[in-house]
Copies of this chain bind each other. A is one copy, B any other.
């Protein structure tokens, strides 16, 4: 087990509650801050959003959060009013044992949509999780495992700024379309940051990282990223705050990349660099269209250097351009220059896709300074298999 550099003043637990059918599978996590923490969150932009998203959103930003409780295996989405009551009850159970208000507890869930939460399991499991929350790598590792669904590994990232640490963990795997994914991400820091500043910087960081990954473009109902800052002393300001934001950005970027690389069934991590657009926003729209194209993703899976699929996906993104504005590289091979195809060796190009777990496409426009880096993955038999048989 790796030893993570953990932010001070937080306890973690990940326990086996029985929400999942697999025996001994950790499925319930809590993060407890010893002292009231500034808290911010960003959430799915899906109109159909899960009960835990609804209640947590209403509680943020705030300056006195004490805990986060997360269950995996059931999304508590599309569950009507009962779902909201169940999510509130999850927070109450934590609050009771911590001796705080339910409003000081945030909730996240991931798993199957449309099934009521089995509350008997959580009534027993949550007190057990809170009781076992403790400092240190072992407990942190348990929590990082307990939030996973079809992920094959935990995603963890930490950075230091001065005396402070920012520690984050996340889960991804599928139903990952930007804005955001059933990706859940949890960042904790022992720095002191005012709630509003925390919210603004988390939003900027997530926008540029978690919102620039895609597995299949299906935006989840449950996407959530929380950031808790429990540091004592005066809140960071000025240059210190800027350095802190850079570190948060780095943790988010690192976690986002790990999510794309460990997407369901993925054999390849695909990095798309789109540059030279009129704006960053236009670059992102193009990157997302390419990233979401099943034809691009199956071509990478099959090591088929069918670059026309990349160019044609850019073409239907809805951003105006002419072919002569665009050049395309795969790895360091220039395949399409200012709208004209260049001769290339198909077997070399195919070997590039076959040999590299991480592959790179660069789309260069000549329209302006806008750019975006976007991460996605290939579309494999394994993805189809995993998703053809998820609930039954």
Taking Cβ atoms with an 8 Å cutoff, the residues of A that contact B are 45-49, 75, 77-81, 112-116, 174-175, 177, 179, 216-221, 292-296, 298-299, 301-309, 311-317, 319-323, 326, 335-336, 339-341, 346, 350, 379-381, 383-385, 387-392
Tell me if B305 and A113 are in contact (CB < 8 A): no
Tell me if A336 and B387 are in contact (CB < 8 A): no
Number of copies: 2
Give chain B residues whose Cβ lies under 8 Å from the Cβ of A303.
Answer: 392
Tell me if B384 and A48 are in contact (CB < 8 A): no
Tell me if B113 and A320 are in contact (CB < 8 A): no
CA A323 to CA B77, docked complex, whole Å:
10
Question: Chain A contact residues: over half helix, strand or loop, or mixed?
Answer: loop
Tell me if B381 and A312 are in contact (CB < 8 A): no
Give chain B residues whose Cβ lies under 8 Å from the Cβ of A292.
Answer: 217
Out of B304, B312, B319, name the residue touching A77 (CB < 8 Å).
Answer: B312
CA A77 to CA B47, docked complex, whole Å:
38
Give chain B residues whose Cβ lies under 8 Å from the Cβ of A113.
Answer: 306, 308-309, 311-312
Give chain B residues whose Cβ lies under 8 Å from the Cβ of A314.
Answer: 47-48
Given contacts A307-B114, A346-B392, A392-B303, contact A380 B387 (CB under 8 A): no
Beyond the given pairs A303-B392, A304-B390, 8 more chain A to chain B contacts, judged by CB atoms under 8 angstroms and listed by A's residue number, are A48-B326, A77-B312, A114-B335, A174-B295, A220-B312, A306-B390, A346-B391, A379-B384
Tell me if B221 and A315 are in contact (CB < 8 A): yes
Tell me if B391 and A304 are in contact (CB < 8 A): yes
Tell me if B46 and A312 are in contact (CB < 8 A): yes
Give chain B residues whose Cβ lies under 8 Å from the Cβ of A219.
Answer: 312, 315-316
Can you sample 24 A-B contacts with CB below 8 Å?
A47-B321, A75-B308, A77-B308, A78-B308, A79-B340, A80-B339, A113-B311, A114-B307, A174-B295, A177-B316, A179-B316, A216-B294, A216-B295, A217-B293, A217-B294, A218-B294, A218-B309, A218-B312, A221-B312, A221-B315, A295-B387, A301-B388, A302-B392, A304-B392
* A228 CB, nearest partner CB in chain B, Å: 27
Give chain B residues whose Cβ lies under 8 Å from the Cβ of A77.
Answer: 308, 312
Given contacts A47-B322, A75-B308, A112-B306, contact A80 B387 (CB under 8 A): no
CA A385 to CA B381, docked complex, whole Å:
8
Give chain B residues whose Cβ lies under 8 Å from the Cβ of A80.
Answer: 323, 339-341
* A299 CB, nearest partner CB in chain B, Å: 7
Tell me if A316 and B79 are in contact (CB < 8 A): no
Closest to A115 in B: B341
Give chain B residues whose Cβ lies under 8 Å from the Cβ of A79.
Answer: 340-341
